[in-house]
Structure 1
Amino acid sequence: MAEQDLFTTRMRAATRKIHNLSDTLVNAKFAISLRDEEVWGKGLFVFYHVFAYLEDARARLDLPEFNSLFCNKVLFRQSAFEEDLRHYLGEDFQSLPKSPALENYLQHLRDLERDSPALLMAYVYHLYLGLLSGGQILSKKRKMFGDKNNSTNEYKDKVTDFTGSDIAQIKNDFKAAMNKIAESMSAEEQDAFIEESNRVFLMNNLIVNSVEGQNKVLYNLMMKTTAVILAGVAVYFAYKMK
């Protein structure tokens, strides 16, 4: 089958607009604020609950299609999230309150599990593919923007660590599993899956926006940048007045 005829290709085209918006949000707001370890931890916290729910739902449902989507054992990330969260937020991270956006997200997943469990695979596909792709980019950006005075450069994040794995091959296998599943869907089921895929990115954007501390980090960064610019202007005028 030609690539343009694959379900994953069709899905990528149908979600391009909201996907690009999501990428812009993360790059413009979240990525820069990842220099703060607490904000990074809170970002992991909101996505941890979604990933953990999906992995637990897979075990509860035990559907052949759902199981086949987890085509490689390295895709299971729940324990990696938990290790990172213990490092950044402490041993009692599970007791931290969830934002309304996260509560709404999880309730939506519960509703899908009850009424349309196959649509949970839309979340598995986009979130895990995002971790394999965007997660690696965020990890690199975090090192780039990271505060050299904290432990960011000493601790190696587990959730974005796929050392020893061929990520390109895993992504290919993951997409192949999704396309195989789509072959058994009716046209109406495929349309519903794509509609839910757009909702995935929308709900991801909502929980990214709910992460506390981002605005504070951006404000502090802006103030520091402004101070540097003003200092440069002052030096320039002092030089010109001599």
Structure 2
Amino acid sequence: MAEKEVLFTTRVRKATRTIHSVSDALVNAKFAISLSDETVWGGGLFVFYHIFGFLEDAKKRLNMTDYEKLFVTDVLLRKDAFEEDLVHYLGENWQSLPKSLALENYLEHLQNLERENPKLLMAYVYHLYLGLLSGGQILAKKRNVFGDGNSDMNKYIDRVTDFTNVDIAQLKKDFRQAMNEIAEKMTEDEKQAFIEESSQVFLMNNLIVNSVGGQSKVLYNILYKTSAIVLLLAGVMLAYRLNK
């Protein structure tokens, strides 16, 4: 009885806790270290644009009530915002950039789901948009604090993570409630399939995040600067000792 009273979103969170933590760590390691490198940030936007774009376009193609219900407000729709950001970070010709094998595989998997079991696409909608409203906001704040050093007057506001005048806490609450209401009509087999696909969401996210290039360059620059500071401090200490 108690098990039936547990919210479906709680079941999903518990079932994916481990892989979710791994995914969060990877995203933070990849992007937090690259906050000052606009090319790397743009690369991350590029891979996720194709996933978010697919999911939003599928909303029109499927004409499926529950799928549409999960998009609780048009504020969630981010495809246009992604495109604005990509022009800013990667230039007008960003659409000509090649997709990584990981991204191609991800898109192929989504296409297969749309043909064979479109309900499972809701697992991607649920986790990706919830992630944008959670971790995406944290990364956006880090970029504002530790970004490229531009003055506030000239600082570009990332469109994809900009939810100005939106009560994000309430939006997340509404989003989870919609997911739980949809789950009430699912069979237990359908719920289990959703939970299993949820783990796949994080695995595939990890693969495309790992495919984003440029982090090594940023890491090198950071290590180079750190080493220079250490050498400078060592020189000062040596000079101090010699002149005592």
Q: TM-score range by the shorter chain?
A: over 0.9
Moved over 4 A (4+): 1-4, 149-153
Aligned CA distance change for structure 1 residues 153 and 207 (closer, same or farther; 3 Å): farther
* Preserved CA contact (<8 Å) 1:3 1:9: no
Aligned CA distance change for structure 1 residues 187 and 142 (closer, same or farther; 3 Å): same
After superposition, residues 176-187 of structure 1 pair within 5 angstroms as: 176-187=177-188
Question: What is residue 47 of structure 1 aligned with on the other side?
Answer: 48
Question: What is residue 7 of structure 1 aligned with on the other side?
Answer: 8
After superposition, residues 98-117 of structure 1 pair within 5 angstroms as: 98-117=99-118
Aligned CA distance change for structure 1 residues 2 and 76 (closer, same or farther; 3 Å): farther
1:102 deviates by 0.4
Percent of aligned pairs with the same amino acid? 65
* Preserved CA contact (<8 Å) 1:58 1:66: yes
Q: Secondary structure at the match of 2:33?
A: helix
* Preserved CA contact (<8 Å) 2:85 2:160: yes
After superposition, residues 27-66 of structure 1 pair within 5 angstroms as: 27-66=28-67
- Looking at structure 1, the residues matched to 5 and 13 of structure 2 have their Cα atoms a distance apart, in angstroms, of 10
TM-score (norm 1): 0.96
* Preserved CA contact (<8 Å) 1:38 1:89: yes
Cα-to-partner distance string for 1:205-229 (whole Å, 9 max, x where unaligned): 1111101101111111111111111
Q: Decide which moves more: 57-66 or 225-234.
A: 225-234
1:122 deviates by 0.2
Aligned CA distance change for structure 1 residues 209 and 221 (closer, same or farther; 3 Å): same
1:152 deviates by 10
* Preserved CA contact (<8 Å) 1:146 1:152: no
Aligned CA distance change for structure 1 residues 112 and 152 (closer, same or farther; 3 Å): farther
Gaps of 5+ in 1: none
Q: Secondary structure at the match of 1:184?
A: coil
Question: What is residue 212 of structure 2 aligned with on the other side?
Answer: 211
Instruction: Give the number of equivalent residue pairs.
Output: 242
Q: Decide which moves more: 25-34 or 46-55.
A: 25-34
Gaps of 5+ in 2: none
